[in-house]
Chain A
Amino acid sequence: MFPKPIERSAPWVGVVYKLLVPIVLFFWLLPLIGVALTSIRPAGDLAAGNYFGIPSGFAGVENYTAVFRDSPIGHYILNSFIVTVPTVIGAVSLSCLTGFALAIYRFRANMVVFFMFVAGNFVPFQILMVPVRDFTLQLGLYDTVLGLILFHTAFQTGFCTLFMRNFIAALPFALIESARVEGVSEWKIFRYIILPLMRPAIAALAVLIFTFVWNDYFWATVLVQGEHAMPVTAGLYSLNGQWVAAWHLVSAGSIVAALPPVAMFFLMQRHFIAGLTLGATKG
């Protein structure tokens, strides 16, 4: 283990370390702590210039109620869920199939298709923007949640395919061989042998894609215009324009918008990190 484990140092080193970690963490999260604190500040504090002192009282309930009552943020959040959940299901399902195809079969175009998915995922969004917007308009899906869902599903399929392919390729191939010897059809091999083994990969991808899509801002501004289909990221930005200097509301809104992916992260932490750091170690 590197650096040297603290237990092997002098006892005072351990004590200093245990004190130091929360202090460093405090500074690391200072901007966030400030926002959390502001979100429970009474509006009067801001007027009085008390921006980062101790709040004069707890106005969390008022502020958060005000955010939900006076703004369509509840509606935006609902939109975000309506966009995110089907995208997660769609992209993960499609990539179970594509990942299986690329991991199990040897055919000429395999590597080409695979690297198309890989490269496609790195391209700047702007190279897709004009045609995707145009295509969405032509489908009559501009300014709808469905337009966003279709695009996100397609785009995330690239990332998911790579993930699934590598996961399936690491499974013992003997499973498939023996099934084939028994004359099991390819579809049944996928459905009854491989798919049940993919649960951890599905879980990891689901949380990752949920976070990516929830946090998307660019496509929310390009493919959506009106309030009725707007996800919370774009919605929060437009509310920020309306709540000029009402930082206690902006802060409360920010916290609300950040909460679902944060909750997802804490609930499925292991899967989330396993997904994100896949390939960061050898073997």
Chain B
Amino acid sequence: MASAFFERIKGRTSVMSASSSIMGGGTRLFRQRALAPWLFLAPGLLFFLIYVLIPIVRSIWIGFFDWDGLGEMKWIGLSNYIELMGDESFYTSLKNNVAWLLLYMLSIPAGLAIALFLNQTIPGIRIYKSLFFFPFVISQVVVGLIFSWFYAPGFGLLPALIKSLTGANIAILADARYATYGVIAAGLWPQIAYCMILYLTGLNAINPEQIEAGRMDGAKGLKMLWHIVIPQLGPATFIAVVVTVIGSLRSFDLVSIMTSGGPYGSTRVLSYFMYEQALSEYGYRMGYGAAIAVVLFAIMMVFISLFIVRMLSEQRRG
């Protein structure tokens, strides 16, 4: 969802040079122009402060308390974090988050492969491209239900296939060994579609002269792909990496729909573990939940900072 974030901040140079000329205006106009941006920003910024920025700070604060969400908040310092260090579920969740992150990365080459496959001009190709993109448009709840059905032991398509091939009965989502991978596979489906559309757009913008020049020099196939095409797909790859990393760490819906963290908590990820602790039958442990959220937030901030640093340096280069 975040791809538009990464449009290079290209217009900025022109804004800068133009606004220096504005500054020469009269005092009244000058004041109007000094105040105007804040008036334009006020409503949106206020909303964003109240619902996004302040809650982040409050969550960090709540992480130091024992709180059930209703009664008195009791300051307990770092106790939530110390408890977390000894909580086995925390490590399961963390391990699963790593699995999500690593396996989700497969959607980038897979998306590129499908994009290359579809980058032709046969009649009806536009409709084919849209249909390939389909999984991204539908809700993750629906994706989760579709895959639960696809995996369902006894009548799902996949177990039937596995049975006909190997004779083994496998209940993917009920088996702690496979369940997480089953859920990740469901997540890959829309994610691959997303990467595919990014690469299709990227391929569309490739400089045809370079391709032709490469052909003249006898480059083709994988060599051409690696040395000429992929370097030109840089911006698409960057966005694909960002949305894939963020998407993998945000995974919640599919875990909730397909396994509710089970069997025996083996498919928990930090986001779901947090939800469970703060808002479910496990008891309303808001402080503990907030502490888990802070850990997830810290992990994501590492990536977010990297992305922003890269955006900033791109911008400086112009």
Do A24 and B235 form a contact, CB below 8 Å, given A163-B4, A282-B205?
no
Is there contact, CB below 8 Å, between B271 and A126? yes
Contact B128 A1 (CB under 8 A): no
B15 in contact with A132 (CB, 8 Å): no
CB pair A98 B40 closer than 8 Å: yes
Out of B32, B54, B201, B274, which one reaches A273, CB within 8 Å? B201
A130 touches B201 (CB 8 A): no
* CB of B222 to closest CB in A, whole Å: 11
Extra 6 A-B pairs, beta carbons < 8 Å, given A51-B155, A100-B40: A29-B131, A154-B52, A162-B7, A180-B22, A247-B152, A280-B236
DSSP majority for the A interface? helix
Is there a chain A Cβ closer than 8 Å to B203's Cβ? yes
Checking B8, B19, B34, B249 against A279 with a beta-carbon cut-off of 8 angstroms, the contacting residue is B8
B181 within 8 A of A: no
Interface string of A111-135 (1 = CB under 8 A from B): 0010111111111111111111111
Of the residues B7, B19, B25, B44, contact of A105 by C-beta under 8 Å: B19
Q: Which residues of A contact B137 (CB under 8 A)?
A: 211, 258, 261-262, 265
With CB as the reference atom, state the residue of chain B lying closest to A256: B142
In the complex, chain A residues 134-161 whose Cβ is within 8 Å of any chain B Cβ: 134-135, 150-151, 153-155, 157-159, 161
Are A101 and B48 in contact, CB atoms less than 8 angstroms apart? Answer: no
Shortest Cβ distance from A170 into B: residue: B11
Identify which of residues 247-262 in chain A touch chain B, using a CB-to-CB cut-off of 8 Å. Answer: 247, 250-251, 254, 257-258, 261-262
Number of interface residues of B (CB under 8 A): 129
B115 to chain A, nearest CB (A): 10
Q: Which among B45, B52, B211 is the interface contact of A123 at CB below 8 angstroms?
A: B52
Residue in B4, B59, B114, B234 whose Cβ sees the most chain A Cβ within 10 Å? B4
Residue from A21, A34, A115, A185 whose CB has the most chain B CB atoms within 10 Å: A21
Residue B202 is within 8 A (CB to CB) of chain A in the complex: yes
Stretch in contact with the other chain, from B101-109, B143-151, B168-176: B143-151
Kindly list chain B residues whose C-beta atoms are within 8 Å of the C-beta of A18.
Answer: 122
A129 touches B116 (CB 8 A): no
When distances are taken between beta carbons in the complex, the residues of chain A under 8 Å from B201 are: 273, 277, 280-281
Shortest CB-to-CB span from B63 to chain A, Å, is 9
- Nearest A residue (CB) for B122: A18
In the complex, chain A residues whose CB is within 8 Å of the CB of B282? none
Top 8 A-B residue pairs of the complex, sorted by shortest distance between their CB atoms: A169-B11, A154-B51, A279-B7, A281-B205, A101-B40, A131-B55, A215-B139, A105-B37
Q: Are B8 and A2 in contact (CB under 8 A)?
A: no
Chain A window 197-219, contacts with chain B (Cβ cutoff 8 Å), 1 for yes, 0 for no: 00000000000100110110110
Are B149 and A35 closer than 8 Å at their CB atoms?
yes
In residues 280-306 of chain B, which contact A (Cβ within 8 Å)?
286, 289-290, 292-294, 296-297, 300-301, 303-304
Q: Does A79 contact B (CB under 8 A)?
A: no
List chain A residues, Cβ under 8 A from B296: 124, 126-127
Q: Is the CB of B52 within 8 A of A155?
A: yes
Residue of B whose beta carbon sits closest to that of A190: B40
Whether A218 lies near B252 (C-beta < 8 A) is yes
12 inter-chain pairs at a CB distance below 8 angstroms, sorted by A residue, are A4-B220, A22-B128, A35-B146, A49-B155, A102-B41, A123-B52, A126-B274, A126-B296, A173-B14, A177-B21, A233-B139, A261-B137
B135 interface hit (Cβ, 8 Å):
yes
* B286, A173: Cβ atoms closer than 8 Å: no
A129 with B211: in contact, given A2-B203, A123-B300 (CB under 8 Å)?
Answer: no
Instruction: Give chain A residues whose Cβ lies under 8 Å from the Cβ of B253.
Output: 217-218
Is the beta-carbon distance between B41 and A113 smaller than 8 angstroms? yes
* Chain A proximity mask over B31-56: 1 for CB below 8 Å, otherwise 0: 01110111011011101101111111
A residues in contact with B202, CB < 8 Å = 280-281
- Taking a contact as CB atoms under 8 Å apart, the answer to whether B134 and A262 are in contact is yes
Given A127-B56, A131-B58, A158-B52 in contact, is the A5-B121 Cβ separation under 8 Å? yes
The residue that B139 contacts in the complex, of A120, A154, A214, with Cβ under 8 A, is A214
Report Cα–Cα, A117/B135, bound state, in Å: 28
- B204 proximal to A (CB < 8 A): yes
